Amino acid sequence: MPVKNRFAELLPEITEWRRDIHENPEILFETHRTSALVAEKLRAFGCDEVVEGIGRTGVVGVIKGKSDNSGKTIGLRADMDALPILEATGLDYASKTPGAMHACGHDGHTAMLLGAAKYLSETRNFDGTVVVIFQPAEEGGGGGREMCEDGMMDRWSIDEVYGMHNWPGKPVGSFAIRPGAFFAATDQFEITVKGKGGHAAKPQETIDTTVMASHLVLALQTIVSRNADPVHNMVVSVTSFETESKAFNVIPETVTLKGTVRTMSKEMRDMAEKRLPEIAAGVATTFGGTADVTYFKGYPVMVNHEEQTEFAASVATKVSGACEEAPLVMGGEDFAFMLEERPGAYILVGNGDTASVHHPEYNFNDEAIPAGCSWWAEIVEQRLAG
């Protein structure tokens, strides 16, 4: 089952939608224009129901098949939000919003799901119901969690849910997926160490927080090297080191460290949350200071369900001829919240030889649109075959 001919026909139109969204990026939950555009198109396609304001600015569209003997409902999800990055692509349709750009391809995800929704509304060649889910605030805002907390899964009786992300470096239109843990849990921490400030020429009269914090940066790495089971994937990164003084001759009273913890299991996630403040307190005490730790739990591990992953891979193989096993990804993905509520799977579609995501020169590859649209449509038509 290769790429559907209808999506080849629709490619110029879907590309136009994608570039319009790219030109008008919106951050987190502020996807007002994008959400309105999505809702307008879903109504124009003839969706049976279109609801706005789910998860603040999320949009849900409902498409009923020619029959409903199965009684099943499949959810398809795309994210809509952009990133706070200054675009450097030089494209004719580059961002018109200073400091915001679609650097992760959510413009492409939204356009592809709109294309699939148009096709499914036209054909309705399935037995059951499709719910198309357009989510805000994937980039750190937890929009997926908020849509779930708004009761989306129960309100539309969603049985399974499927998502997709473009992947630079993979051939255009190719697919990759893996069962089980796929994307990492993404937690953050902030540690403020306090000592006694003073003149840099008289360190003996101070409790030096720069030395204290420097030792702490190194000590935190033992969470991975000495506390974690070596067979588990884990990352602890200190990404910010800020003193309260910018002077050359002042030992600061406080230093603040910030960073991230990435884990692939609940066991390792809980261990890191426990060990990080213990190590911070121990190091601070060693130097005569104190440490105040705040640990922010972010997205959970995104876990693909076995049966649905196997099915998603089989569909991808029919669309593109093959589906590779994807590597573990230490980045986060808030589709994890939806997969905690319902069985489903998340797949990668190749974006070709482009800049990586979150890069100012990144751009979604429109040549991937037919494959992405076809995968979503085939998920429905095969899972809800009459």
Integer CA distances (angstroms), 37 to 41, 314, 350, 370, in order: 6, 33, 26, 21
pLDDT at position 3 is 80
Q: For the range 93-102, what are the long-range contacts, defined as Cβ-Cβ under 8 Å and sequence gap of 24 or more?
A: 93/19, 93/20, 93/22, 93/23, 94/22, 94/23, 95/22, 95/23, 95/24, 95/25, 96/23, 96/24, 97/24, 97/25, 97/26, 100/25, 100/26, 100/27, 101/25, 101/360, 102/21, 102/22, 102/25, 102/364
Residue 2's pLDDT band (boundaries 50, 70, 90)?
Answer: confident
pLDDT at position 386 is 76
Instruction: Name the β-bridge partners of 236.
Output: 261
Distance CA 172, CA 350 (A): 4
- Is the pLDDT assigned to residue 202 strictly greater than 90? yes
Residue 290's pLDDT band (boundaries 50, 70, 90)?
Answer: very high
Residues of the chain with CATH 3.30.70.360: 185-296
pTM of the complete model: 0.95
- Is the pLDDT assigned to residue 1 strictly greater than 70? no
pLDDT in tens, 161-176: 999 999 999 999 999 9
Residues of the chain with CATH 3.40.630.10: 5-180+301-384
pLDDT in tens, 108-155: 999 999 999 999 999 999 999 999 999 999 999 999 999 999 999 999
Residue 92's pLDDT band (boundaries 50, 70, 90)?
Answer: very high
pLDDT at position 4 is 86
Angle, CA 58 vertex, CA 55 and CA 59 arms, to 5°: 130
Q: What percent of the chain has pLDDT over 90?
A: 99
| CATH class, range 185-296 | alpha beta
Can you say which residues are annotated as belonging to the binding site? Answer: 104, 106, 139, 165, 358
Integer CA distances (angstroms), 382 to 1, 65, 316, in order: 11, 12, 12
pLDDT in tens, 293-330: 999 999 999 999 999 999 999 999 999 999 999 999 99
- Is the pLDDT assigned to residue 43 strictly greater than 90? yes
Distance CA 115, CA 113 (A): 5
- Rounded (10°) angle between helices 369-383 and 106-123: 50
pLDDT at position 311 is 98
Q: For strand 49-54 and strand 185-194, is the pairing parallel, antiparallel, or unpaired?
A: unpaired
Angle, CA 325 vertex, CA 75 and CA 370 arms, to 5°: 50
Can you say which residues are annotated as belonging to the binding site for Mn(2+)? Answer: 104, 106, 139, 165, 358
**CATH number, domain 5-180+301-384:** 3.40.630.10
- Is the pLDDT assigned to residue 356 strictly greater than 90? yes
- Is the pLDDT assigned to residue 15 strictly greater than 80? yes
